[in-house]
Structure formats: structure tokens, C-alpha cells
Amino acid sequence: LNAVHSRVAVPTSRVGVSRTLGTSVGGMKESRASCTYDFTIDESLPTEDILNQYEKHLQDRTEHHLGYPYNLNFDHAALHHLMEYSINNLGDPFQTSNYGVHSRAFEQAVLKYFADLWGLPDGQFWGYVTSCGTEGNLHAFYVAREMLPNAMIYCTEETHYSVLKAADYYRVKATVVKVNFRGEMDVVDFEEKLKANKEKGFDTAIVNVNCGTTVKGAVDPIIDVVDILERNGFDDSKHFIHVDGALFGMILPHLSESKLAGTTTPDFQLPVKSISVSGHKMMGCPVPCGVIIHRKENIDAISNHIAYLNSPDTTIMGSRNGHASLFLWHTIRTKGLEGFRSDAKKSIKNAGHLCAKLKDAGFGALLNNPSNTVVFEKPQDMDFILKWQLACTGNIAHVVVMPSHTIETLEWFVDDLVAARKKGNWKTLCIRDDLGQACVCEECRSSPS
């Protein structure tokens, strides 16, 4: 439950960890050299030896963790003794069921924290601690579908895959909106498609607004979205705006106006119906979890009393991890508002440092403002990608700079990347279609327009 992540030395020979490369990934041929990034269990060994090997594997993978947005700096040792209990928050968070081993009081405290953070007063919010950000999105679109059963879903090309999954699950038609090279919603395209669909009879809309896209860390212009809806006859009763704030929902509210650089923080002061966030990302948690907050009156659309539980059925899952609420509550108590502000500022600042280092080393790189997601041309070595656990799409990869990342680690990564490029004699990839003028390939340098 507690994590201390310094730059520890891990033996080069990691028993029990293996991966054989040799397939083509994204058009790039992998090396056939044996690589040690997957863990396998040797059942012939004593249990203690297997677990010791696994811990060494986790130490190494944690040390080289840059591509996915998890804050690995957390310490929940104070909660160790509570792991002896089966804590299950089944049923509605605000109504006690017949099952007594729960953490509802802690869950309610967590929900109040987020409702306050996003501007929804006491008595006007409902929510619950989810298993992850995806569950938050699924719940939001479930409520939206029940409120607006004949609506069209609108989301961008950069939206998290769980939104189109929700459309499939609930059999709701979806329209994908274009983005600019920074990953932000193209509002002209949004308005054109909104009008075209209205002419086809879709006079209600469910709109997903990204608050930190998966690949580029972009924030959709929510003020423009609201204006477009209103001027095209979609008043508050005809639209449902959900904000997917999986990562940035815990960053933007903690930045000053100068750091926001004109970006509007989506919250309930706007005509937003729901906001979701991941708990294991910026906050740091040993288990995946998240939070969804709704306007309270909207939950009537899905509420159904279950006699077996003696509680309303208002959540996606029946049984829910009660320890997750404890972890989140403990983080809020120990860090507080100032701790979260410090984490947000540090991540943004260190991302700027990494982006500058990549550019100085001759790599095309982009960092939105404000953002902690540094996007750059994809390394041309699958072993390197796996070593640093980079998330890649097309010709680009990214590093999501989290509070657990130090300047030392980021510079170590750049040095390793430069060495890998030299060893492999990589040719600079063209990323103009992905990152615009951030591309530094030979053709783009000779004709930057």
C-alpha cells in the first residue's frame, strides 16, 4: 500500500520475467532479442521466492514508468490494518443497505470534496466512487441516455475509447467531431454536424467534453460548446454535457489564472450535468478507482429500489470496493488543497522541462498549455518503447509527467532516448499530420509552411 520510488538499482538478470520480441508493431519491426518486460510464474518455486521475484519486477517496471498517467507517490501504510476486512459499499452511497461492513462515511466525504472542487453545493450533488474513469463515463452516458433517449452523442477523434464503448453498450448513435493538431475539438465541425443531425430529427444532444485528452492532454473549449448548443436551439432540457476529467479534473482546478493561460476549467457553474475523474491518476492509489459527480435531480432517471439490498440501485456495479474510498479519503486528508496544488504545478513545470530537453536533443515535440502530457516522435525501437512503457499511436508517443516523476528521471529518459537513436541510426519521422509545426523532419525543416 505504500510506495517509495527512488532510482533503485535492479539486477540486470530478472528471473521470472521474459518477453520474446519479433512481431511487427505499427509498421516497425521489433528486435528478436529476448527482453525482460513480462512476468511469468515458475510454479516449482516456493511461494516466497515467486513473490520476491515479482516485487523485483514491479520495482523495475515502476522505475521505468512514463507513458501512462499514474502518480506512484503514495503512502497508505496507515490503512494496512483495514485490509483485514471485506469492505463493500454495495448499493447507493447515500443510503445504508443491510450490509454493515462498508465505508460509506468516507465515500461521502470524498464525494463532497469533489463536489466542492467543481462548484456543486451540498444537497445538489450525487455521485459515487467508481472502479475507474471508464466506469464514470459509462455511468454518465447511462444517465444521459435515460434522460434523453433519442439523443445523438457527440465526441471528438481524441476522446477516450470508453465513450464510444458507452454508445455501443447503450445503443445510442454517435457522431465523431474533428480536432485540431493540438487535439482540441474543432468547434466549426461540431456546429456543422450538430445542425446536420438536427435536420435529420436529432433535436437533443449528449456531448462529451474532454478535460485532458488521452494522447495530447488537450482541453475542449467548453464555453464554445455551450454557446453552439444554445444558439442552435439546444437549451438545458435538450442537452447533456458530460466532462471527462480523468486526468485534468484534478489539475485545472488547482492552477492559478496565469497558469491556465485562458483555458476554462469545466465545472458545475456551467450547464454541465456530470463530471468524472480517475482516482489513481493525479491522487495516487494502489488500486484503480475514480469518482463520478452528477446533479442530484438527474439520478431519478435510473434509480430503482432493490429489496435484497434495502437500497436503491443507482450505480453501474453492485459490489463496490470500499477500500478505494478509504484510500481517496486518506489522500485528501494527508495532502489537502495545498498538496494537490503543489502536485499540479510541479507536473506542469516538469513537463515543460522535458519538452525543452527533447527539442534541444533534436526531437519534434509538443506540449499544450496548460498540460503535463509531452508528445513527441515515436522511438523506432520496440524494446525502448516497452522499457519505458510508452503509449504510442501512429508516429507519435507521449510521456505523461506525474508528481512521482523527478527531473532526474526525465533527463535519464532523454539521455537513454538519444543513445537509442544513435545506436539504431534512426531517421527522423514526419509528424506534421500529428503535431503540426512541431515536426522537425528534413522535409518540414526545408519547407516549414
Point out the residues that are catalytic: 371
Main-chain dihedrals φ then ψ at residue 82, nearest 5 degrees: -80, -10
Main-chain dihedrals φ then ψ at residue 2, nearest 5 degrees: -105, 145
Contact by Cβ (8 Å): 268, 295: yes
Q: How far is CA 273 from the centre of its chain?
A: 20
Closest CA relative to residue 250, chosen from 406, 125, 69, 66? 69
Q: How far apart are CA 382 and CA 35, in angstroms?
A: 10
Residue with cell 505499427: 26
Closest CA relative to residue 29, chosen from 377, 363, 376, 383? 383
Residue type, 217: G
Angle of CA points 208, 210, 215, to nearest 5°: 130
Residue with cell 513527441: 376
C-alpha cell read off for 20: 520474446
How do beta strands 239-244 and 274-278 pair? parallel
